[in-house]
Amino acid sequence: MTLACPECHSIIYARHLKGLGQLAVSQEQERAWPQARETWQQMLQWLPAGTEQSQMVAGHLAAIDGRIEQGEQRTATWKKRLGPLAPAAFFLMKAKTFLFALLKFKFLFSFFAFFGVYWALFGWRFGLGFAVSILIHELGHYVAARRRGLKADLPVFLPGFGAYVRWYSMGISLDALSSIALAGPFAGLLAAAACAAMYFFTKVELWAALAHAGAWLNLINLVPVLGLDGAQATHALNRMQRGLILAAAILFFAFLHEGVFLFIAAGMAWRLFTGSAPENPSSATMIRYTLLLFLLGALMGLVPQTMRRF
């Protein structure tokens, strides 16, 4: 594979390398050294051997290896000093880091403000359950992004509207981008299914209300417009795949009579004629998208819709 122009000697994949470099820098800022090392190693494979750029990246890799080795040596030293108390000490250190991140003011303030709005409208039990369901949806995005070594912030709630997770997608494929986008609705599906199971077990209407509302909201997120999850996932689909999902949404509406499927169909029809389509579309994204539509719609059909104060 040719990595540099034989005439002007410029690097052919400069834009891709720039994205990888930005991702590696963000990983280093998070002190995720193993992930940063892997990203720099990917850059090295796209650089012509013997160039100044490849030597610079190789030197940076050596520096990261030194940091990782120093960290391992410090860990080994503390394990030796603490003896049998080492596992408990390291657990407490990790727990402290986790609690510090969890207690970030913006996350907590927005969560309780969101909870307060739905408490006022539908009672504290529905308000709390609905807020937790939205949190589970957003944590689906958060975990999916972090698993891929990407920088991601804790969820921020918008009272009366929803919530979002800010994450940084430079240098990843469209398939990975769509996977992170659909991870939220999949997590939301699990939360709604758990509420449905509680309803069928207890016959308490609160659980039916939470299951129905959760499934509806996750379907709304699959409408492929603006910054919704469906719009992000659609970037990995070609026009034929978008047409198939459009047909599936109309079919689901015909069987389930849920109006939200018409919004999804309308959004996908618009996407047939706007935006670019990838040269290598993702069949996995189309399958996940369609499966989410079916399961969330079926869940809405199984549990009764109840909107009152609890």
- Which of the four pLDDT bands, split at 50, 70 and 90, describes residue 49? low
Could you read off the pLDDT of 62-81 as tens digits, one per residue?
A: 777 777 777 666 666 655 55
* pLDDT exceeds 70 at position 235: yes
**Could you tell me if 99 and 165 are in contact, meaning their C-beta atoms sit under 8 angstroms apart?**
no
pLDDT over 50 at 153, yes or no:
yes
- Domain segments of the chain: what residues? 10-106, 125-151+167-302
Cβ neighbours of residue 209 under 8 Å, at least 6 residues apart?
122, 126, 305, 306, 307, 308, 310
Query: How many angstroms separate the Cα of 10 from the Cα of each of 18, 57, 61, 117?
Result: 14, 17, 23, 56
Across 253-257, average pLDDT: 88
Q: Which of 39-43, 56-60, 85-89, 234-238 has the highest mean pLDDT?
A: 234-238
Rounded CA separation 71/197 (Å): 46
Those residues with Cβ within 8 angstroms of residue 39's Cβ, 6 or more apart along the chain or in another chain: 20, 23, 24, 27, 149, 171
- As a whole number, mean pLDDT of residues 258-268 equals 92
Give whichever of 39-48, 104-113, 273-282 has the largest mean pLDDT: 273-282
Q: Do residues 182 and 285 lie in contact, with contact meaning Cβ atoms separated by under 8 Å?
A: yes
Cross-strand pairs, 167: 152
Whether 141 shows a pLDDT value over 80: the answer reads yes
φ/ψ of 204, rounded to 5, equals: -85, 125
Q: Are 220 and 263 in contact (CB under 8 A)?
A: yes
What six digits make up the tokens of 304?
Answer: 């009764």
Which residues fall within 8 angstroms of residue 263, CB to CB, at 6 or more apart?
Answer: 220, 223
Adjacent-strand bridge partners of 157: 163
Q: Please, is 2 exposed, middle or buried when counting C-beta atoms within 10 Å of its C-beta (0-12, 13-18, 19+)? A: exposed
Q: Encode pLDDT of 189-214 as tens digits.
A: 999 999 999 999 999 999 999 999 99
The average confidence (pLDDT) of the chain is 78
Q: How many residues does the chain have?
A: 310
Of 93 and 188, more confident: 188
C-alpha separations of 258 from 31, 115, 195, 298 in Å = 46, 27, 20, 10
Torsion sign, CA atoms 45, 46, 49, 54:
negative
DSSP structural state of residue 178: H
Write out 263-283 in H/E/C secondary structure: HHHHHHHHHCCCCCCCCCCCH
What per-residue string of b and e applies to 216-250 under the rule 16 or more CB within 10 Å gives b? bbbbbbbbbeeebbbbbbbbbbeeebbeebbebbe
pLDDT exceeds 50 at position 291:
yes
Three-state DSSP class for residue 156: strand
Q: What are phi and psi of 305, to 5 degrees?
A: -85, 120
